[in-house]
Amino acid sequence: MRTIRTTGTAHTAHTVRTARRTRNAALAVLAAGSLVLAAGCGSDDKKSDTKGSNSPSAGASTPSGVTLPKLDGVNLTVAAVWTGAEQKNFVKVLDEFSKRTGAKVTFVPAQDPIVNFLGTKIAGGAPPDVAMMPQVGAVNQAVAKGWLKPAGPEAKAELTKNYSKVWQDLGAVKGTQYGVYYKAANKSLVWYNTKVFANAGASEPKTWPDFLKTAETISASGVTPVSVGGADGWTLTDWFENIYLSQAGPEKYDQLAAHKIKWTDPSVKDALTTLGQLFGKPSLIAGGADGALQVEFPASVTQTFTGGDNPKGAMVFEGDFVQVNIGQTKAKVGTDAKVFPFPAVGAKSPVVTGGDAAVVLKDSKGAQALLTWLASTDAAKVAAESGGFISPNKGLDPAAYPNDIQRTIAKALIAAGDDIRFDMSDQAPQSFGGTPGKGEWKDLQDFLKNPKDIAGTQAKLESDAAKAYKS
């Protein structure tokens, strides 16, 4: 999943970036009015009922139907780029696996990009048994290098039972299942300062034209409406992707993501034109284009929820992980900060996601059992109860989430089913979709500076994409 900078150091928030029961059901969840949010994240954490003496014995079927083998004496290592609370909560999931199987599981801190980290470990003859891969492109790259082992029948059975087809497909390469998307992110959300909206008499917009009207209304009240973290180019790719998915549709989105159509395609022109309706009005963006390009993602959030009813910006777009940065302010989620779905540009609102996939590097009974565990509803329940986590597992009871905001966002992600789409830039070669100062990140930063140059932006995007996809 996209590496999110939350405190000046990089870690994978979640994401997922990027993860993807019908679209209409999703819209029903998201568009039924204001999302009813809890007055803070994690304030009503629940204790897991899968711990201690209640844990089923190794080799037995759990309530969700997952069966795990006895693995006494087995040692496993799991590598991931997570730190802090994310790492701590994931270790809880690994500890529960150990309780049920008898295996000893060690978390191995990895550096980003994880493909480089794994390459070093493999070259040294000491790869981890399992790794958490944050991008579709990373999984594809690791398979191409011959590093990954296919998922076993037990893991695939859990995937079939608990995951919609799109999530299974995201973990497959050329028809072979490798990855289990353990963690996801809903990246189609707009967070707003409720005091500013109330003072301006503004309401939550449902369409792009309504969004622009709301922005103008807030601007007229004396507050700049939209905060953009333009210093981090990935935020701009997320703006583009949500507009493009809603306007061009899922099929075109898939074609552009795979570079089966060029960035000079008319559908890209349409999306950039739409995005330019916002970027082309400096008065609607906190600090104007020049100012936005100096603002990193964390500051784009905190400046929206600092200053009471006179912040630097009234709204900020990004995923569920925005809650982490709101927590760095005095604002309370559910009262001072609320959220609405990214407005529909076309017929439907988009649901763009990111995710982290578990993959096996050292094939063994223990590694395959861990993959099976991470695909299970039981594992998702342990993680969900810890907070700061969204699961693409459709078998998970939403009641497992510790607060209403995560519960609502998770329901929308599951309800979108196969109509969700994984973050486009995370699917691209890293040189195009994931490198600061290069490729799509740089091209869209240049577009923010000069949103009138749509043709020039398209040409540069296509030139950079063509080079990256051929490499």
What domains lie within the chain, and their CATH numbers? Answer: 64-186+353-422 (3.40.190.10), 189-345+429-471 (3.40.190.10)
Cβ-based neighbours of 374, under 8 Å, separated by 6 or more: 93, 180, 182, 358
This prediction has a pTM of 0.76
| Measured distance CA(122)–CA(104) in Å, rounded | 21
> Can you tell me the distance from the alpha carbon of 138 to that of 119, in angstroms, rounded to the nearest whole number?
12
What are the pLDDT tens digits along the chain (471 aa)? Answer: 444 433 333 333 333 333 322 223 233 333 333 333 333 333 333 333 333 333 444 444 444 479 999 999 999 999 999 988 889 999 999 999 999 999 999 999 998 889 999 999 999 999 999 999 988 888 999 999 999 999 999 999 999 999 999 999 999 999 999 999 999 989 999 999 999 999 999 999 999 999 999 999 999 999 999 999 999 999 999 999 999 999 999 999 999 999 999 999 999 999 999 999 999 999 999 999 999 999 999 999 999 999 999 999 999 999 988 988 998 999 998 899 999 999 999 998 999 998 999 999 999 999 999 999 999 999 999 999 988 789 999 999 999 998 888 888 888 889 888 888 999 998 888 889 988 999 999 999 999 999 999 999 999 999 999 999 996
| Alpha-carbon span 281 to 276, nearest angstrom | 8
- Residues whose CB is less than 8 angstroms from the CB of residue 314 and which lie 6 or more positions away in sequence, other chains included: 192, 193, 196, 197, 200, 218, 223, 224, 225, 226, 227, 304
The pLDDT of residue 62 is 47
Residue 114: what residue type?
I
Cα dist from 38 to 44, 204, 295, 318, whole Å: 9, 18, 29, 19
H-state helical runs in 70-135: 84-101, 114-123
> In degrees to the nearest 10, what's the CA dihedral of 212, 214, 218, 224?
-30
- Cβ within 8 Å of residue 54, ≥6 positions away: none
Q: Which helix (H) or strand (E) holds 75?
A: strand 75-80
Q: Of 389, 204, 228, nearest to 297 (Cα)?
A: 228
- Separation of alpha carbons 112 and 124, rounded Å: 18
327 by Cβ neighbours in 10 Å (0-12 / 13-18 / 19+) ranks as: buried
CA dist 149 and 128 (Å) reads: 12
| C-beta of residue 3 within 8 angstroms of C-beta of residue 110 | no
Decide if 314 contacts 193 (C-beta within 8 A).
yes
How crowded is residue 175: how many other Cβ atoms within 10 Å of its Cβ? 6
How far apart CA 215 and CA 221 sit, in angstroms, is 10
